[in-house]
């Protein structure tokens, strides 16, 4: 049986996330860390199974939305966006936004060592909560709660060029469309040895399709690939 105080705590969290559990014990389980189980009762169950399930739920939500939102993005770019959104630090920050740490059931040692603020525990609990919502209801319920938050993170990372590998995107495109790979050529170097600037062109089927500059060959090649993608109307987002 859950104590009256615990029921009130869980009611507060449910209002926070906008979802009422049919079975509140599932929510309690999603917030139960193994350290609490080890110190209290072997009959209790920790949240690791829900964490496992929630990881897949969040992956599916992010993947499904990204494919629809960015139809021109290559698989490699979509994978990078997903990895950036569902990684530990991002999920932990989302958990902090709903103050999830204060609802966790932790062992005394874990609690006294700052467990409620640990990225790993918060991210795992955030996944476990998604798993519990899915288990208590369905994917639509999880989508209603998580997509508004996750879509903002997806948009943020999609708009950040450093999460895009333009060379990989261009190569995937040319292999599919032209059955060839891009060829990069340095056409100009300028500046002193410690501050060189490179100019690179990318050639596809003997035609120059893009041009770019950078402080390294790799940076210039990425800029040239980005230029080529724009030329194919696969305009990268800056």
So which residues are the catalytic ones?
55, 127
| HEC profile of the chain | CCCHHHHHHHHHHHHHHCCCCCCHHHHHHHCECHHHHHHHCCCCCCCHHHHHHHHHHHHHHHHHHHHHHCCCCCHHHHHHHHHHHCCHHHHHHHHHHCCHHHHCECCHHHHHCCHHHCHHHHHHHHHHHHHHHHHHCCHHHHHHHHHHHHHHHHHHHHCCHHHCCHHHHHHHHHHHHHCCCCEEEEEEEECCHHHCEEEEEEEECCEEEEEEEECCHHHHHHHHHHHHHHHCCCCCCC
Spatial neighbors of 20 by CB under 8 A, at least 6 apart, are: 14
Q: What is the CA radius of gyration of the chain?
A: 24
Q: Which two tokens stand for residue 193?
A: 């040895």
Q: How far apart are CA 204 and CA 214, in angstroms?
A: 20
């Amino acid at each position: 049986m859950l104590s009256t105080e615990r029921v009130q705590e869980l009611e507060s969290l449910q209002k926070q996330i906008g979802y009422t559990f049919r079975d509140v014990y599932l929510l309690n389980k999603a917030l139960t860390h193994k350290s609490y189980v080890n110190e209290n009762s072997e009959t209790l169950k920790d949240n690791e199974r829900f964490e496992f399930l929630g990881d897949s739920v969040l992956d599916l939500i992010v993947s499904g939305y990204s494919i629809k939102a960015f139809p021109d993005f290559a698989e490699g770019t979509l994978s990078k966006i997903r990895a950036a959104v569902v990684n530990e630090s991002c999920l932990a920050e989302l958990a902090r936004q709903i103050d999830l740490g204060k609802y966790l059931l932790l062992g005394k040692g874990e609690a006294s060592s700052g467990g409620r603020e640990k990225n790993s525990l918060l991210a795992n609990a955030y996944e476990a909560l998604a798993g519990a919502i899915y288990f208590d209801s369905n994917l639509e319920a999880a989508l209603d709660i998580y997509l508004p938050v996750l879509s903002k993170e997806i948009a943020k990372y999609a708009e950040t060029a450093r999460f895009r590998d333009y060379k990989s995107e261009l190569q995937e495109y040319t292999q599919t469309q032209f059955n060839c790979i891009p060829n990069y050529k340095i056409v100009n170097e300028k500046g002193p040895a410690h501050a060189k600037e490179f100019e690179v062109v990318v050639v596809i089927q003997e035609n120059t399709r893009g041009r770019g500059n950078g402080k390294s060959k790799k940076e210039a090649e990425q800029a040239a690939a980005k230029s080529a993608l724009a030329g194919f109307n696969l305009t990268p987002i800056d």
